[in-house]
Amino acid sequence: MLCNRLKFPKVKELRAGPLARADIGVESSQGNIGLSDWAEKPAEMAEARAGRGAARAFIAANLPLKPAPGLPEIVIHTATPASGLRRLAAGRNPYWAWCWAGGLALARHTLARPQTVAGRRVLDLGTGSGLVAIAAARAGAAHVLAADSDADALAAVEANAAANGVTIECLHGDLLDGPPPAADVVLVGDLFYDRAVAARATLFLERCVEGGAQVLVGDPGRAFLPLARLAPIADYPARDFGDSGEDEGRARVFSFRGRSELSSRPQRSDEPGARVCAARPG
């Protein structure tokens, strides 16, 4: 397994941490555009921006561009044993340095069904590498906001967006306990890896639905997935990072249902190349 060769923790621990507490600030390639008290802290903002620039340079120099698995049209800076990732991560979990199964499925679904995001405002929650955000931008989203609490993840998003020729705005911070940003579609890949994070994410997504957003979740079936709130749409071949074995692996795409929708029937997909899902018992 690659994670063993890199001497990082097991897969669950690698994915942990994208929504740890952090100050919130929205930045694009043109700089900070507000939504936080960072406007009153120019020294901290300048330090963070400088750190992001250094991280982006490290990523571009040491993580080679590779096609995302099953998505040859998108390239991602991906860690290898030769990347020396510990020099950048410094004890943090660099989950953003690889593609994960839920994000892969969600990105494939977005590209195969561009009408889901075309002309709409999209939030990619817990963006990691930015794979899903890039897919949304490629599919014609009017605006894409990629949110993560790890500044290195956002440096990876910037590097990956540049490599794919798309524009993505970056939001640094933990959103789960506050009001959602303005968005028509919220995309969530691989976020239900921890009980506490899953509970907070579920409440946040409820608020998104109450505000009128469509919420799609991509996941290979982690233990804390709130299946009672999810209507399966389709599944795709997608191997989670660190998985081994002969089977190709699969991940599902779900529609997140608000409380008023819990008695409704699951949506089905006639998408070419996708496997239509039946709802799981319970």
Can you give the CATH number for the domain in which 54 is found?
Answer: 3.40.50.150
Residue 85 has φ and ψ, to the nearest 5°, of: -65, -25
What's residue 260's pLDDT?
73
| Structure confidence by residue, pLDDT tens digits, 229-262 | 999 999 999 988 766 556 678 999 999 998 777 7
Q: How many helices (H) and strands (E) does the chain have?
A: 8, 12
* Residue 111 belongs to a domain: yes
* Residue 237 belongs to a domain: yes
* Residue 9 belongs to a domain: no
Domain region containing 258? 37-276
What's residue 106's pLDDT?
98
Three-state SS for 198?
helix
What's residue 278's pLDDT?
34
* Residue 221 belongs to a domain: yes
Closest CA to 162 of 28, 26, 18: 28
Q: Provide the domain count of the chain.
A: 1
What's residue 34's pLDDT?
31
**Cβ neighbours of residue 254 closer than 8 Å, sequence gap 6 or more:** 216, 217, 218, 219, 230, 231, 232, 233
What's residue 90's pLDDT?
77
Listed as ranges, residues in the chain with pLDDT below 50 are 1-41, 265-274, 276-282
What's residue 111's pLDDT?
98
What's residue 24's pLDDT?
43
189/121 Cα distance (integer angstroms):
17
What's residue 42's pLDDT?
54
* Residue 282 belongs to a domain: no
Give residue 204's Cα distance to chain centre.
15
